[in-house]
A and B are shown apart, each in its own frame.
Chain A
Amino acid sequence: DIHMTQAPSTLSASVGDRVIITCRASQSLSGWLAWYQQKPGKAPKLLIYKASSLESGVPSRFSGSGSGTEFALTINSLQPDDFATYYCQQYKSYSLFTFGPGTKVDIK
């Protein structure tokens, strides 16, 4: 099974900050990694797929990078609407998807 970790678990930031969230997999994902944003009481929203491809309609301040086992989600110029929890997800194998534990971005 592929185990996912994220860092940090909580991040305090201000509007306008650049924020980086990292995700690590226990084995190589060959780029099969997605990022989601979730706000309280709402369903998750896809931001990034295939490690670095921006989902249609997602603001360009969001970007993904990485390969192998190390990945990052960067938010440039954090906006008030971006305070949320972010999850990475691996989909290397269709028989077992796994999510990271999440990173909460809150207001400093």
Chain B
Amino acid sequence: EVQLVESGGGLVQPGGSLRLSCDASGLTFSNYWMSWVRQAPGKGLEWVANIKKDGSEQYYVDSVKGRFTISRDNAKNLLYLQMNSLRVEDTAVYYCARDGNSPSQGAFDMWGQGTMVTVSS
């Protein structure tokens, strides 16, 4: 079955760190750009970061630059999000999402179920 499964969420204090993982099974992981998208409780969707197929390029929303790092291991079909210096406003469900290949490249055609990150003292 083709699926994305996130893990690693939890409760962390402000200033703390977490690493999220996304296990991509049933697909040729190295063929796709991948993204992290988050959703704060009761709020809309916010794109967080993406990474090129071979990991050579990464981009971030301004609010996480310098604190979050996206990476991937194509041999293990894993996507990561290292989150440091966490803030209360980072509290959200974090989704990993697959960027579709042509003709839908740029749109997210597959999503994981999400993992909850709560930043609170």
Same complex origin of A and B: yes
Contact B59–A96 (Cβ < 8 Å): yes
A99 touches B103 (CB 8 A): no
Evaluate contact between B59 and A34: CB separation under 8 angstroms.
no
How far is it, in angstroms, between the C-alpha of A99 and the C-alpha of B114 when the chains are bound? 17
**For residue B111, which residue of chain A has the nearest CB?**
A43
Contact between chains at B59 and A32 (CB < 8 Å): no
With A34-B108, A89-B107 known to touch, is A94 a contact of B50 (CB < 8 Å)?
yes
Given contacts A43-B95, A96-B59, whether A53 and B104 have CB atoms under 8 Å apart is yes
Q: With A43-B113, A94-B59, A96-B61 as given contacts, are A32 and B45 in contact (CB-CB < 8 Å)?
A: no
Interface residues of chain B, those whose CB is within 8 Å of chain A, are 33, 35, 37, 44-47, 50, 57, 59, 61, 95, 100, 103-104, 106-109, 111-114
Considering the chains assembled together, what is the distance between the CA atoms of A95 and B51 in angstroms? Answer: 10
CB within 8 A of B59: which of A49, A95, A100, A101?
Answer: A95
A residues within 8 Å of B by Cβ? Answer: 32, 34, 36, 38, 43-46, 49-50, 53, 55, 87, 89, 91, 94-102
Minimum distance in angstroms from B111 CB to a CB of chain A: 4
| Bound-complex Cα distance A97 to B37 (A) | 10
Which A residues touch B37, using CB under 8 A? 44
* A36 CA / B109 CA spacing, docked (Å): 10
Q: Of the candidates A34, A101, A102, which one forms a contact with B106 in the assembled complex, judged by CB atoms under 8 Å apart?
A: A34
Separation in Å of the A107 CB from the closest CB of chain B? 20
Tell me the complex Cα distance, A36–B57, Å: 26
Q: How far is the CA of A50 from the CA of B109 in the complex (A)?
A: 12
Q: Of A50, A87, A96, which one neighbours B104 at CB under 8 angstroms?
A: A50
Q: Are A97 and B95 in contact (CB under 8 A)?
A: no
Q: Are the C-beta atoms of B33 and A49 separated by less than 8 Å?
A: no
> Lowest 5 A-B CB distances belong to which pairs?
A91-B106, A43-B111, A34-B107, A49-B107, A97-B47
